[in-house]
């Protein structure tokens, strides 16, 4: 727990970074900003810098600079506890400093030296990262009082990834002619959260005859957006498939625990799906894709999970020596790649040897577009 929170019942804190964004501050504090005494102020002799490892700021001593921010007065012990909980995951501590106005205030400063990457700008951060940060803070603060701040810090990369999926969901344009009816969430409880999450939901929804359904009890598996790419060499007329052990078959007690798949991976926060597809092709198989064909995007299992797949066919060279063992060791990946001719691939699909639905979809998309792709690469 950061120091400096135990003396007075009411405190003042100077915010120079992301908590200047009112929706984020309201989420962390658990109350509306109209209840708070917020005034602009400046911290002399300090500079606001961008952290190398994330979209958040650092405060460093610089006699020739001033840090612009806001002073929030009259914070209660509960307010401080919520702020400490949120900030603990970012390795910050409270220090008492004097502002340009003459007011003394506590300031969250880094516990140890962190690498910086140039000046930090709140306007740019709000444009690129604010929506995701508020969504992540909702999950973090939902664990306040139940999960330790240290445990939240460990889970935070996955929390941010789930939050980024919420951001990407707002740009979807699928299902334009379906009902845009009312959905009422009566209660939503996070039953499990770590690598993935599980929410128990009690809900009502509008029916096709215009009335509301009775309250239904359901559960949803909360995961991430993922990019899937099938590498295809139109000159050699073959693809590259990857093989790795999978938890789905293990959980289903399927003896075929190693599965053939397209290259796939989570869309990282701040990343767009095509960028993720190219990155994963390099990480899993050492491939550089010439260009990508967009196949489609959609839910893998909309009745039970938030998994959303962005699928591509990646045009590239696939020489004989490209297959091998790969994967990101830091992520515990152990991946074997296979070169498969198009004719063999179609035979596998037709005889049911492919146990992966996204791969099957990509195979038949490739079959439909194969002549066009091959004609483009002919001399």
Contact 231, 240 (CB under 8 A): yes
Band of pLDDT at residue 2, cut at 50, 70 and 90 = very low
CA–CA gap between residue 39 and residue 151 (Å, rounded): 33
HSE toward the beta carbon, residue 378, CA cutoff 13 A: 6
Chain segment 106-123, per-residue pLDDT in tens? 999 887 666 677 889 999
Domains and CATH numbers, the chain: 11-155 (3.10.490.10), 183-222 (no CATH), 225-377 (3.90.79.10)
pLDDT of residue 165: 96
pLDDT in tens, 316-357: 999 999 998 887 777 788 899 999 999 999 999 999 999 999
Q: What is the pLDDT of residues 193-202, one digit of tens each?
A: 999 999 999 9
Predicted pLDDT at 114:
66
Residue 26 has pLDDT above 90, yes or no: yes
Asked if the model's pLDDT at residue 6 lies above 50, the reply is no
pLDDT band at 15 (very low <50, low <70, confident <90, very high): very high
Higher local confidence (pLDDT), 88 or 71: 71
> What is the spatial distance between Cα 358 and Cα 264, in angstroms, rounded to a whole number?
10
Each residue of 126-140: pLDDT tens digit? 999 999 999 999 999
Residue 340 pLDDT: 97
The predicted pLDDT at position 224 comes to 94
Split at pLDDT 50, 70, 90, the class of 238 is very high
Is residue 98 over pLDDT 60? yes
- Chain segment 275-308, per-residue pLDDT in tens: 999 999 999 999 999 999 999 999 999 999 999 9
Q: What percentage of the chain reaches a pLDDT higher than 70?
A: 96
pLDDT 10s digits, 66-83 = 999 999 998 999 999 999
Residue 7: predicted pLDDT = 47
Residue 87 known to be catalytic: no
Whole-number average pLDDT of the chain: 91
Q: Which of 151, 206, 243, 331 is catalytic?
A: 331
Note whether 225 and 168 are within 8 A (CB).
yes
Confidence at residue 94, expressed as pLDDT on a 0 to 100 scale: 86
What mean pLDDT do residues 205-231 have?
Answer: 97
pLDDT of 379 strictly over 60: no
The proportion of the chain whose per-residue pLDDT surpasses 90, expressed as a percent, equals 79
Predicted local confidence at residue 161, as pLDDT? 95
């Amino acid at each position: 727990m950061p120091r400096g929170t135990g003396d007075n019942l009411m405190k003042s804190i100077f915010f120079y970074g992301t908590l200047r964004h009112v929706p984020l501050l309201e989420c962390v504090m658990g109350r509306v900003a109209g209840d708070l005494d917020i005034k602009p102020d400046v911290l002399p002799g300090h500079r606001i810098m961008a952290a190398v490892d994330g979209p958040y700021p650092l405060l460093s001593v610089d006699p020739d600079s001033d840090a612009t921010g806001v002073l929030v007065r009259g914070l209660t012990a509960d307010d401080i506890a919520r702020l400490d909980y949120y900030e603990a995951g970012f390795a910050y501590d409270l220090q008492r400093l004097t502002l340009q106005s003459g007011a003394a205030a506590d300031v969250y400063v880094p516990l140890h030296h962190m690498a910086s990457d140039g000046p930090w700008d709140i306007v740019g951060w709000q444009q690129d990262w604010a929506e995701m940060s508020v969504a992540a803070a909702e999950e973090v603060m939902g664990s306040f009082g139940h999960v330790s701040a240290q445990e939240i810090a460990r889970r935070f990369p996955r929390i941010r990834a789930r939050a980024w999926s919420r951001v990407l969901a707002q740009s979807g344009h699928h299902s334009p002619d379906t009902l845009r009816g009312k959905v009422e969430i009566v209660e939503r409880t996070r039953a499990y959260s770590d690598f993935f999450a599980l929410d128990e939901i009690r809900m009502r929804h509008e029916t096709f005859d215009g009335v509301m359904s009775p309250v239904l009890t359901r559960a949803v598996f909360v995961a991430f957006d993922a990019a899937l790419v099938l590498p295809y060499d139109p000159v050699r007329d073959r693809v590259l498939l990857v093989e790795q052990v999978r938890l789905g078959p293990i959980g289903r007690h399927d003896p075929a625990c190693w599965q053939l798949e397209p290259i796939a991976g989570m869309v990282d926060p701040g990343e767009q799906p095509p960028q993720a597809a190219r990155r994963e092709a390099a990480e899993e198989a050492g491939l550089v894709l010439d260009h990508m064909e967009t196949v489609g995007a959609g839910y893998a299992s909309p009745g039970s999970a938030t998994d959303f797949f962005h699928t591509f066919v990646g045009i590239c060279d696939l020489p004989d020596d490209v297959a091998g063992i790969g994967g990101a060791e830091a992520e515990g990946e152990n991946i074997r790649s296979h070169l498969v001719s198009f004719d063999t691939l179609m035979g596998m699909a037709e005889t049911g040897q492919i146990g992966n639905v996204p791969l099957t979809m990509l195979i038949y998309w490739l079959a439909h577009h194969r002549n066009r792709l091959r004609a483009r690469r002919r001399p």
